Structure 1
Amino acid sequence: MVREVEKRGMRLGKYELGRTLGEGNFGKVKYARHIDSGQGFAVKILDKKKILDLKISDQIKREIGTLKLLKHPNVVNLHEVLASKTKICMVLEYVNGGELFDRIALKGKFSEAEGRRLFQQLIDGVTYCHDKGVFHRDLKPENVLVDAKGNIKISDFGLSALTQHFRDDGLLHTTCGSPNYVAPEVLANRGYDGATSDLWSCGVILYVILTGYLPFDDRNLAVLYQKIFKGDVQIPKLLSPGAQNLIKRILDPNPCTRISIAEIKTDEWFKQDYFPANPYDEEEDIFIDAEAFSMQGVATDTEKDPGSPTLINAFQLIGMSSCLDLSGFFEKEEASERKIRFTSNILPKDLLEKIEDIVTEMGFRVQKRNGKVCNLVVIEIHLGILWVQLVGR
């Protein structure tokens, strides 16, 4: 068990903590040196209270469980997990070259030879993950690290899924990822194959590596998603025909006809100077402190304030807006009713009074469902009646 890290300041069990490498919403990543061996590590120090407040305990457990399965040269490796009553400390492989994103921002773009080498390593790492039943679901240059030798390491498996997360239809259904890199079938919200959608993200990364900019981009999310669904990507003619062809086959908006990883590995452009990486020895056992999964006795802001709003992710928020409903790209909408959700900092009582005054002038009758005061309002127009519902979350 780990004693309180913040109080001791410099020591974490058998590790000596150093500079802060990064900082997020619920913890920090610090450089650490193993006292006996002198080897460097990256320690992800997570605050349990913040994890509970953000309701991401399942996400952290999934990331730890996933990393325990993966031991590959192109995947960031987990060494052990230490914990106290307030902290979770993930001791990870230290990758000293930073994010691929920063490399691209600095260079602008890579040569085809160097870009191909990075893409080959990315495909090796992703293939290994899929063979282990792990689907990343948030592949992007920010989640790909580069070591001192220029080799890549896939990181951040917080949104990953395992085969047991598939539904009875054999598909995943959680809409997640980063808008510019997410596959069209994920946005369609009809279920998707984790391997095929990961491959789309790899294709976007390949495009960015070779050009220095995104294939699909727009400040307006509705326009961005329309571009992704159409898959109408403009590929610079300066790229070789082989690179152009492979990008087109990966960024096929139809997941059924999209090139597979097996087909990529037989592609002539991909095969040039290709030396597949071998997975590490999997006999090494990873120590995980049982305290890491215990959240008992950790007070949360939600417990202190039961009226606090429920957190929603970006895709849930997007889905609440009718202007961003992209289901029409896949099938005709059969339902005639329409719902609109919005948020407001006006008191619910005052908000409802304003809504009633406006819609009465519009000629609607107002009926209320569920008088519970909360943070989410649903307005529904059906058969000439406007329903105002305060939804408890």
Structure 2
Amino acid sequence: MPSAACAIPPAAAPGDDNTTAVSPKVLLGRYELGGLLGRGASAKVYLARDLLTGRDVAIKSFPNPRAGGTGTGPAPIEREAAILRRLRHRHVVRLHEILGTRSRVHFVLDLAAGGELFSLVDASGRMTEDLARHYFRQLVSAVRYCHSRGVFHRDIKPENLLLDAAGDLKVADFGLGALAADAGTSPLRHTMCGTPAYVSPEILSKQGYDPAKVDIWSCGVVLFVLAAGYLPFNDGSLINMYRKIYAGRFRCPNWFSPELRHLLRCILDPNPATRIGTDGIVDHPWFRHGATGDDAELARVMSGHDEDAWFKTEFKEEIGREMSAFDILAFSPGSDLSGLFGAGPGTERVFVGESAAAVLARVEDAGRKGGHGVRREGKNRAAGPVYIEAESGIVAKVTVFKIADAVSVVEVVKGHGPEASAFWKDWLQPAVKPPAAAAV
């Protein structure tokens, strides 16, 4: 994976497949898109630079799930967005914002500049036990945090364990993730999901499973692979491999320490009722090896969520009151966002890389300089609407909708007559379309 400090090469933008770009594409006036980092069954991931901060990020670009259709249920990417918005942990890839167009949905994510975790294996194809413990601690910290937020990954495997520029673990790709069941409903799940070599026995039984125990099993398989260099359950026949998984039948290599062997037996227990939990893992002697009773480093790794206090208050409040681009996508009929990009007669809409307060302040200043009255109304006065008024009536009505951090949609409903047209051309258009603004 490219380094976070590397230059971004020109590349095709994440738009329609038949679109070719000969120069860097800027998404919504904010992100300069670079090369393709990878692709999956339903999404492509691009390197990008945030033009406001200069920071490199990853843009995961999906087709609009409801473009051209009238989907009745939540699309998988809507579930993934709901999951990622709950998480703020140093060892989980962070979702910064979601942007949408008529044909695409874009997740702005942390860039895992260090590539996959398996890039650190030695020439023998495995890690030392100490290095495996270091990253397993970070993995357990992330998984325990996700579970505390009611989030279950359900596809933990090496390909979804990435490294940031500092070499720390980042759990990625919650496309198969699940949220905790509502109160009063069964916590068991029945969806067949996961990667064959990492799937738990209870998923194979098709009797329902606890997704938290499924994640723990997969963590155990990852730990085995890190320390051994090969899978604990492997066979040329998929059916035979499933039989081994269902029976919990595996052998540890002779270089494993007794403590590691014991921990793996506790994690890869085919009975989910007796399988060890994350708290038990944290208290296990192998996991705590080298740590004192009040070891600050281990405590730091296991907390992991530096923004926890902020998340519990401000972030949850923001989720409750803000309308992100993805919220618009989820609630508009058929997820057709064409109204944002092709407004009706007398109405202009434009994306700007600014806060609502900054735009409305310029609008009010433009109204006064144009010799008109200015009136701000609405329950949320920070977003407007702002009415620009003359003796003949309303010249313009301006409202700003927050889409994401430092990205807003400005809607201008223009009045009738030459006075309104002159005001739009001479004063209002420059105010709502500053040089940094960019329409989609």
User: Same fold, TM exceeding 0.5?
Assistant: yes
Aligned length: 296
Structure 1 segments unaligned to the other structure (5+ residues): 299-393
2:221 counterpart (192, 197, 204): 204
- Identity value in percent: 40
Q: Which has the larger radius of gyration?
A: 2
Give the direction of change, closer, same or farther, for the CA distance of 1:199–1:51 in structure 2 (3 Å limit): farther
| Map of 2:90 onto structure 1 | 73
Matches within 5 A, 1:52-71: 58-71=75-88
| Cα deviation, residue 101, structure 1 | 3.9
Q: Distance in 2 between matches of 1:105 and 1:114?
A: 11
| Map of 1:309 onto structure 2 | none
| Map of 1:279 onto structure 2 | 305
Residue 304 of structure 2 corresponds to residue 288 of structure 1: no
Q: Distance in 1 between matches of 2:185 and 2:150?
A: 16
| Cα deviation, residue 260, structure 1 | 1.4
Q: Distance in 2 between matches of 1:107 and 1:280?
A: 36
Give the direction of change, closer, same or farther, for the CA distance of 1:135–1:52 in structure 2 (3 Å limit): farther
Give the direction of change, closer, same or farther, for the CA distance of 1:57–1:48 in structure 2 (3 Å limit): farther
Q: Distance in 1 between matches of 2:94 and 2:55?
A: 14
1:10 counterpart (12, 25, 28): 25
Matches within 5 A, 1:79-158: 79-104=96-121, 108-158=125-175
- Give the conservation status (yes or no) of the 8 Å contact 2:64–2:335: no
| Cα deviation, residue 202, structure 1 | 0.3
2:242 counterpart (219, 222, 225): 225
| Cα deviation, residue 106, structure 1 | 6.8
| Cα deviation, residue 297, structure 1 | 5.4
Give the direction of change, closer, same or farther, for the CA distance of 1:211–1:279 in structure 2 (3 Å limit): same
- Give the conservation status (yes or no) of the 8 Å contact 1:47–1:87: yes
Q: Distance in 2 between matches of 1:233 and 1:269?
A: 19
Matches within 5 A, 1:170-189: 170-189=187-206
| Map of 1:37 onto structure 2 | 53
| Cα deviation, residue 172, structure 1 | 1.3
TM-score, normalised to structure 1's length? 0.70
Give the direction of change, closer, same or farther, for the CA distance of 1:69–1:185 in structure 2 (3 Å limit): same
Specify the SS of the correspondent of 1:255: coil
| Map of 1:327 onto structure 2 | none
Give the direction of change, closer, same or farther, for the CA distance of 1:51–1:206 in structure 2 (3 Å limit): farther
1:22 counterpart (38, 48, 54): 38
- CA RMSD, Structure 1 to Structure 2 (Å): 2.7
Give the direction of change, closer, same or farther, for the CA distance of 1:38–1:93 in structure 2 (3 Å limit): same
Give the direction of change, closer, same or farther, for the CA distance of 1:277–1:215 in structure 2 (3 Å limit): same
Give the direction of change, closer, same or farther, for the CA distance of 1:169–1:46 in structure 2 (3 Å limit): closer
| Map of 2:4 onto structure 1 | none
The one-letter code matched in structure 2 to 1:279 is H
1:265 counterpart (262, 266, 282): 282
Structure 1 window deviating more from structure 2 (156-165 vs 273-282): it is: 273-282
Q: Distance in 2 between matches of 1:51 and 1:212?
A: 44
- Give the conservation status (yes or no) of the 8 Å contact 2:154–2:177: yes
| Map of 1:164 onto structure 2 | 181
Give the direction of change, closer, same or farther, for the CA distance of 1:177–1:167 in structure 2 (3 Å limit): farther
- Give the conservation status (yes or no) of the 8 Å contact 1:108–1:212: yes
TM-score, normalised to structure 2's length? 0.62
Give the direction of change, closer, same or farther, for the CA distance of 1:167–1:109 in structure 2 (3 Å limit): farther
Q: Distance in 1 between matches of 2:56 and 2:144?
A: 27
Give the direction of change, closer, same or farther, for the CA distance of 1:3–1:73 in structure 2 (3 Å limit): closer
- Give the conservation status (yes or no) of the 8 Å contact 1:98–1:145: yes
| Cα deviation, residue 26, structure 1 | 2.5
Specify the SS of the correspondent of 1:43: strand
| Map of 1:303 onto structure 2 | none
- Give the conservation status (yes or no) of the 8 Å contact 1:4–1:84: no
Specify the SS of the correspondent of 1:195: helix
- Give the conservation status (yes or no) of the 8 Å contact 1:20–1:30: yes
Per-residue CA deviations over 1:11-64 (Å, capped at 9, x if unaligned) read 0121111111112233311111111210110000112269989x9962111100
